[in-house]
Chain A
Amino acid sequence: DAGITQSPRHKVTETGTPVTLRCHQTENHRYMYWYRQDPGHGLRLIHYSYGVKDTDKGEVSDGYSVSRSKTEDFLLTLESATSSQTSVYFCAISEPSSPLHFGNGTRLTVT
């Protein structure tokens, strides 16, 4: 799994509550990403980071924020979870011009 750990693996939360998902890598890769996977949509990029404290928005960033205070950790926060954010969330890492390696995903259910 290329040294990527996502936590938690599963989470159920209520609408309106804040949620933070964590991605931890041991590969010292420069780039880190958060994707969401939904039926009929494949994987879509939420946010990505190209270095400590350097982040940018992806295709579906509304309602999400991220932080990267250390090379190895990339946090995804849902400030106020909504049912439309029920999804499987994948973290990925890469070096420039190299394939992305993915974590095992977090299944988030917002009730």
Chain B
Amino acid sequence: AQTVTQSQPEMSVQEAETVTLSCTYDTSESNYYLFWYKQPPSRQMILVIRQEAYKQQNATENRFSVNFQKAAKSFSLKISDSQLGDTAMYFCAFMKSYGGSQGNLIFGKGTKLSVKP
């Protein structure tokens, strides 16, 4: 069974600074996807970034980038130039890329990020 661990329940960062959120996972699969979702106080779940395990290049989306270390089973999210609107819960998630359970996201328990002015 796959598990996803986010070891930082809460973090804070000053506006305009950089912060890194940690995520580790455990799987015996070789083909899978990893995601970061953001949940602001509005409760909406918003996809931040996606990484395919077969790609060595780390994914980036504007101020958001990941450090994907497949051998270490680590998938951290870096937020550059933090903005007040980045305040949210951030969830790391794992998904197998084939088979009957394709599309079943396994979530970590989340990291609550507060961006301070």
Contacts and interface: CB of A to CB of B under 8 A. Distances in A.
A97 B104 CA distance: 10
Contact of A102 (B44, B100, B109): B44
B35 interface: yes
B103 A43 contact: no
Interface stretch (A20-28, A60-68, A69-77, A88-96): A88-96
Contacts of A56: 100
A95 to B, nearest CB: 9
B104 A99 contact: no
A43 B97 contact: no
B11 interface: no
Interface in B24-80: 33, 35, 42-45, 47, 50
Interface string A47-86: 0101000001010000000000000000000000000000
B44 A1 contact: yes
**Is chain A's binding surface mostly helix, strand, loop or mixed?**
strand
Contacts of B109: 40-42
Contacts of B107: 42-44
Contacts of B91: 42-43
B47 A101 contact: yes
B36 to A, nearest CB: 11
Contacts of B102: 31, 96-97
A56 B100 CA distance: 9
Contacts of A92: 45, 105
Interface string A93-109: 01011011110110000
Contacts of A42: 91, 107-110
25 contacts: A31-B103, A33-B105, A41-B109, A42-B91, A42-B108, A42-B109, A42-B110, A43-B45, A43-B91, A45-B105, A50-B103, A88-B43, A92-B45, A92-B105, A94-B103, A96-B103, A97-B33, A97-B103, A99-B33, A100-B47, A100-B105, A101-B47, A102-B44, A104-B43, A105-B45
Interface of B: 33, 35, 42-45, 47, 50, 91, 97-98, 100, 102-105, 107-110
